[in-house]
Structure 1
Amino acid sequence: LGLLWAVGIPRIQKVYASKVKLVPPPVTRGGPRKTLIPDQKAIAAEAMLAKASWHRITWRRGTKGPMRAKFAAARVRVADGPEVRLQGRTGQHLPGDEVWLVGEHRTSGERKYYLSNLPPDTALKQLASLIKARWVCEQAHQQLKEELGLDHFEGRSWRGLHRHALMTLIAYLFLQHLRLQAASGGKKKSRRATATTDTASRSAHAA
């Protein structure tokens, strides 16, 4: 569909370096093989980023202050291509499409890894920000279920489910619009009140 995506992966997910090439396999007694093989071995995602340059990035401010962690990224080709026999082992996979491999080292010591098809010129901070935007989606999904009944559908048709989801999303957007409007209005009102108080104070001093 041409959509941009980012997805979490296990640390043992096999990947190839982006410069991997497909070459003819060594000649064996069985005759030449037609399937080209990669000129390097696939390694685990965590091994690929083990020697990468890690940078501390703040992606947004939370209720407890700035949210930050260390990130590193490298262009790779995921080992999710056709299944072949490599180095005498079956069940191996050829290189797939080139994507970003992103690693995250949290302050708690936890480590996470992601793949994303964002463009090759995407900055590391933008990669981290877009990956961590998942939290916003999870919050929206939670509120849709708890406050608007997204999970209360009991029909059996795709059309009915689609309409139910659409109506809850419209209701959510309307409520979110009211929340943002109230928040911005509150700030403006407080600024006006502060300005009015300062003006009255100066007038009193002048008198």
Structure 2
Amino acid sequence: MTTFQNQVAAEATIAQAVWDRLFRAATDAIADCFRRREARATAMEMIGGLLAQVDTRNCWTLAEVLGHPGPHRLQHLLSRAKFDHDQAREEIARWVIDELADQEVVLIADETGDAKSSTDCVGAGRQYSGAIGGVGLCQVAVHLAAATASVRVVIDRALYLPADWAADEERREMAHVPQETCFATKPQQATAMVEHALRMGIKAHWFAGDDVYSGRELRRHLRELGLGYAVGVSRTHTVTDGTGRRFKAHQMINKVRVHQWMRMQTGHGTKGTREYDWAWLDVRADDTPEEHRDGVSVLVARRHRYTGEISFYRCWAPQNVTLAHLVEVICRRWRIEETFQLGKSFTGLDEGQVTCWNSWMRWSLFSLIASAVLALTAATTSTRSDARPAHLVPLACPELVRLLRTFALAPPVRDREHVLHWMTWRRHHQAVAQACHQRRHARHRTSARTRT
């Protein structure tokens, strides 16, 4: 065990050095996006503070652990500071692209939702979100991730505005939504982010998504951009076989014979290797742009070994491709769920108590930066041959966060006077808020009695 501890200590030293380098590079990339150095310094504090060990992450809790006398500096940074967050997002994306240079990248689109208690929050409305388990009052944002064999990093995001929200001028004005921001479907938002990523120079040849991103218009646009795709489709999705006959996906897959199913590994979990049965059938492409070749269009099916449940994927490649390669692309799509889990567990992706456009954009940006540095640090440390201890699993992000909280990040400020100051501050502001609510309810009751 002592030998293992020495190996882990050596790995921790390497991880700390990698973190310092990447964190400095990320913050340097966005330094010119700030008008004032005070706002820049506060942003650096906030990015590090998002990884601190706190119960919840918002301006109040982060300001307390950072040693601020109140949340005003963080609130000013999110809402009013002179800071070009759109340019910062582009600079971070370029930095991530440079870090992923010479690696095969799959672009992955997916959305996640955050439950809200009021429609006053920008983009909040009753809508479906898998993150909350159905239809509810929530915000939904579409994210674009870049996934390689060893790392997955979110490089862009777009807040989804429901059609009624986007058309409500009063709510738009109160939330400071830019005039040029109009309603766009989730596939349209994903298309715009993919185009932007390609313009910035990312070396991607594949796009992956679930059935939300399987529409014909999006698939045709991906082909115009020179990307192959592997997108999930429902069992009722209609495809055309080689003879021109149309079938539902679940009907089409009945043509697969027993010996044509192939068992393949799709990754490794805590309980061992994950394996599924896979099969594919040729189908006619329905999304070929003008003057483009047909390429290779197939319907891929994945069958669970024990339950027999089948999932379907529509795939296209510009040239011959193996089933194993398509399976690898499909499996990389699942990794965006890991990035969401990482962001929500350690960088406050879904905890920002913000209501306006700028505040949401900036909170999500800082969470994105912290997650990107964390993911790249874990991947870089694990790939270092001199850093990997024998007979131990690779360094995962949860363990890396524990390491950074101990050796790299500034410890939370928790001296007696500071804790008492914040207890007083919170209780005073909660009392003021309580009094305001009571006065408002009293006015409503008085108005109601007057009308009757």
Q: Say whether the fold is shared (TM-score over 0.5).
A: yes
Would the aligned equivalents of 2:237 and 2:248 in 1 still touch at CA under 8 Å? Answer: yes
Would the aligned equivalents of 2:296 and 2:320 in 1 still touch at CA under 8 Å? Answer: no
Would the aligned equivalents of 2:231 and 2:314 in 1 still touch at CA under 8 Å? Answer: yes
Instruction: State how far apart, in whole Å, the 1-side matches of 2:388 and 2:230 are.
Output: 40
Structure 1 match to 2:262: 55
Instruction: State how far apart, in whole Å, the 2-side matches of 1:123 and 1:104 are.
Output: 15
Instruction: State how far apart, in whole Å, the 2-side matches of 1:189 and 1:104 are.
Output: 34
SS at match of 2:276: strand
User: CA 1:41–1:80 in structure 2 vs 1: closer, same or farther (change >3 Å)?
Assistant: farther
Would the aligned equivalents of 1:59 and 1:125 in 2 still touch at CA under 8 Å? Answer: no
Q: 2:348 aligns with which of 139, 149, 174?
A: 149
Structure 1 match to 2:164: none
Q: 1:104 aligns with which of 302, 314, 317?
A: 302
Instruction: Note if 1:132 corresponds to 2:132.
Output: no
Q: Aligned AA for 1:106?
A: H
Would the aligned equivalents of 2:230 and 2:314 in 1 still touch at CA under 8 Å? Answer: yes
The structural deviation recorded for 1:189 is 7.1
Instruction: State how far apart, in whole Å, the 1-side matches of 2:384 and 2:287 are.
Output: 51
Instruction: Note if 1:171 corresponds to 2:382.
Output: no
Aligned length: 156
Structure 2 match to 1:9: 233
The structural deviation recorded for 1:185 is 6.7
User: After superposition, where does 1:1-207 map in structure 2 within 5 Å?
Assistant: 1=195, 2=225, 3-17=227-241, 19=242, 40-52=244-256, 53-77=260-284, 99-108=297-306, 109-153=308-352, 154-157=354-357, 160-180=359-379, 183=382, 188=387, 190=389
Would the aligned equivalents of 2:381 and 2:387 in 1 still touch at CA under 8 Å? Answer: no
Instruction: State how far apart, in whole Å, the 1-side matches of 2:268 and 2:324 are.
Output: 14
Q: Aligned AA for 1:152?
A: E
Moved over 4 A (4+): 78-81, 181-187
Larger radius of gyration: 1
Instruction: State how far apart, in whole Å, the 1-side matches of 2:371 and 2:360 are.
Output: 16
Instruction: State how far apart, in whole Å, the 2-side matches of 1:141 and 1:189 are.
Output: 26
Would the aligned equivalents of 1:42 and 1:79 in 2 still touch at CA under 8 Å? Answer: no
Q: Aligned AA for 1:149?
A: G
Q: Aligned AA for 1:65?
A: G
SS at match of 1:149: coil
Would the aligned equivalents of 1:12 and 1:46 in 2 still touch at CA under 8 Å? Answer: yes
Which one has the bigger strand percentage?
1
Instruction: State how far apart, in whole Å, the 1-side matches of 2:310 and 2:271 are.
Output: 21
SS at match of 1:126: helix
For structure 2, list consecutive stretches of 5 or more residues without a partner in the other structure.
1-194, 196-224, 289-294, 391-452
Instruction: State how far apart, in whole Å, the 1-side matches of 2:297 and 2:361 are.
Output: 32
TM-score, length of structure 1 as denominator length: 0.62
Deviations 1:32-86 (A, max 9, x none): xxxxxxxx431111222222322111132222222111111123236799xxxxx
User: CA 1:165–1:77 in structure 2 vs 1: closer, same or farther (change >3 Å)?
Assistant: farther
Please tell me the root mean square deviation across aligned C-alpha atoms, in Å.
Answer: 3.2
The structural deviation recorded for 1:118 is 3.3
For CA contacts below 8 A with separation 6 or more, give which structure has more relative contact order.
2
178-187 or 102-111: which moved more?
178-187
Q: Percent identity?
A: 27
